[in-house]
Chain A
Amino acid sequence: AQSVTQLGSHVSVSEGALVLLRCNYSSSVPPYLFWYVQYPNQGLQLLLKYTTGATLVKGINGFEAEFKKSETSFHLTKPSAHMSDAAEYFCVEYNFNKFYFGSGTKLNVKP
């Protein structure tokens, strides 16, 4: 069965440090991939998406992700964390009319 794995349910970084949130998908065919962010008491918001073409995808708020087919990964990064980045992040795979959600990673940013 297809699945999306997000390594680390909680990640803590210092303000200004690199943010790296890991996501691995399991599809054997190139999927569509998304990262969503959820701030407390809100719905999810699209950060970025990979559909076709360039494997390095830039999103909002300075985030980017790289699609690596050989590693079946779609890790999310940001060079310098801000306090406002504290939220939960979801990696999502879409294939053949099915959506597969990762279990989410809560990012804590320390001052």
Chain B
Amino acid sequence: DARVTQTPRHKVTEMGQEVTMRCQPILGHNTVFWYRQTMMQGLELLAYFRNRAPLDDSGMPKDRFSAEMPDATLATLKIQPSEPRDSAVYFCASGPYSGGYNEQFFGPGTRLTVL
């Protein structure tokens, strides 16, 4: 049963520290998405990649956030420096691009708390 995996599942850190979240997409999926979910803002698309190239990162704060795909099996989302307002659940999703659209299969999320 193929699934998107995310590590770590929970992360507590102090303000100013660097945070790196990792995602392993489902094998064969060529599109990877990063989302952030909070009670106040709801679900936000931060960025997504197709064939490892960024296609839309308009939702990502560029000053402290960065997203990369070093290879087809790993996507990373980095926050440096972290701030309390970054506390949220971060979801990764992957999907095949077929027929002109993407389905998305979501991972379990990384719950980030910045103190």
* Contact (A94, B42) CB under 8 Å given A43-B106, A45-B106: no
Distance (whole angstroms) from the CB of B53 to the closest CB of chain A: 12
Distance (whole angstroms) from the CB of A23 to the closest CB of chain B: 15
Residue of B43, B101, B109 near A90 (CB, 8 A) is B43
What is the total number of residues of chain A having a CB less than 8 Å from a CB of chain B? 18
- B104 close to A97 (CB less than 8 A): no
Instruction: Check if A17 is an interface residue, CB within 8 A of chain B.
Output: no
Complex interface residues of chain A between 51 and 92 (CB less than 8 A to chain B): 51, 90
The residue on B at minimum CB distance from A94 is B101
Distance (whole angstroms) from the CB of B32 to the closest CB of chain A: 13
Q: Which residues of B contact A51 (CB under 8 A)?
A: 99-101
Q: Which residues of A contact B91 (CB under 8 A)?
A: 43-44
The secondary-structure label for the interface of chain B is strand
Complex: A46 Cα to B102 Cα, angstroms = 11
Q: Which residues of A contact B99 (CB under 8 A)?
A: 51
Distance (whole angstroms) from the CB of B110 to the closest CB of chain A: 11
Mask for A27-46, Cβ within 8 A of B = 1, else 0? 00000101010000011111
Complex: A103 Cα to B44 Cα, angstroms = 9
Q: Which residues of A contact B104 (CB under 8 A)?
A: 36, 44, 46
Distance (whole angstroms) from the CB of B25 to the closest CB of chain A: 13
Complex: A99 Cα to B103 Cα, angstroms = 11
Distance (whole angstroms) from the CB of A41 to the closest CB of chain B: 8
- A32 close to B55 (CB less than 8 A): no
Smallest CB-CB A-B distances: 7 pairs? A43-B106, A32-B101, A44-B106, A43-B91, A94-B101, A103-B42, A99-B45
